Amino acid sequence: MASRPGSHPASRTPSRTVVLSPHFDDAALSLAGFLPTVTGPVDVVTVHGGAPAPDAPVSWWDTQCGFSSAAEAHRARLAEDAAACALLGVGQIVLDHADGPYAPEGATLHHLEALLRDLPLDTRILVPLGSNQPDHEAVRRLAMSVLAEREAPLPWVYADLPYTGHLPEWGRPEASEALARSPMCGLAYQDLLTTHRTTVRHASTLDDDRWAAKRAAVLCHGSQLAPLAADHGGFLARTGPLRAELIWSLEARDTAPATPAPAKAATC
């Protein structure tokens, strides 16, 4: 189970923070309140930021976003991400992995692996939890595997929004414990708990000023907002899932915890 917020372990302050964002909008949606508070340089790395093949037909999602071609969608998203990163005061790094609908069969995240192997060992890396999002979870799993091979510090894990934010206890002190029980929003967290203990490192419900700054960064990704609203309702409301952010640090378990009762998967 998750432990309560505590002091950071004695260590050097990381010289750089790198946030792995599976898609162009994930860092803003999940961490736009947190990122401006980080000391030192911060880079947001969009994993699935590569251009589609020139002859790729436009995907269903991009059609819902109003685009008439895959190339148009990619150009617009690059520009949206640049604007959001500029508002947040972070660097923009884009990896050449095409998004799911445009990825070739059997594609691997080899550019992400190479980036992780090249980072200095004192880099603080944030990875998505992966709540009900297999591509998000794949990013976390690969990052943890590569860092373990390098004997590098474990990453911090952030709750990806708006997905995790639909938990009824979201934004409350008991959110982590609720995720450990939830069959809707907590399956990725429960999977993580089989191998690691978690400690809350950042838990914040944004005040008005920080909410306004986060909303401005999220609005930079304007092409995504209408389809997200179709799936997640009023997720941009002041009292909605984006209002709170949550990050955990990890400690490897020596032994596996007791196996919980199987939970039925549901869409969060």
What does pTM read for this prediction?
Answer: 0.90
Does residue 3 lie within any of the structural domains?
A: no
**Which range has the worst mean pLDDT, 54-58, 107-111, 215-219, 259-263?**
259-263
Q: Residue 27: what pLDDT?
A: 98
Q: Residue 256: what pLDDT?
A: 56
Question: Do 162 and 240 form a contact (C-beta atoms < 8 A)?
Answer: yes
Full domain range(s) for residue 156: 16-252
Tell me how far apart the terminal alpha carbons of the chain are, to the nearest angstrom. Answer: 21
Q: Residue 100: what pLDDT?
A: 86
Structural domain tally of the chain? 1
Mean pLDDT confidence for 130-136: 90
pLDDT in tens, 249-263: 999 988 655 544 433
CATH number, residue 168: 3.40.50.10320
Regarding predicted confidence, which is higher, 57 or 5? 57
Does residue 91 lie within any of the structural domains?
A: yes
Q: Residue 2: what pLDDT?
A: 38
pLDDT band at 138 (very low <50, low <70, confident <90, very high): very high
Cβ neighbours of residue 139 closer than 8 Å, sequence gap 6 or more: 20, 22, 47, 109, 112, 127, 128, 130
Does residue 1 lie within any of the structural domains?
A: no
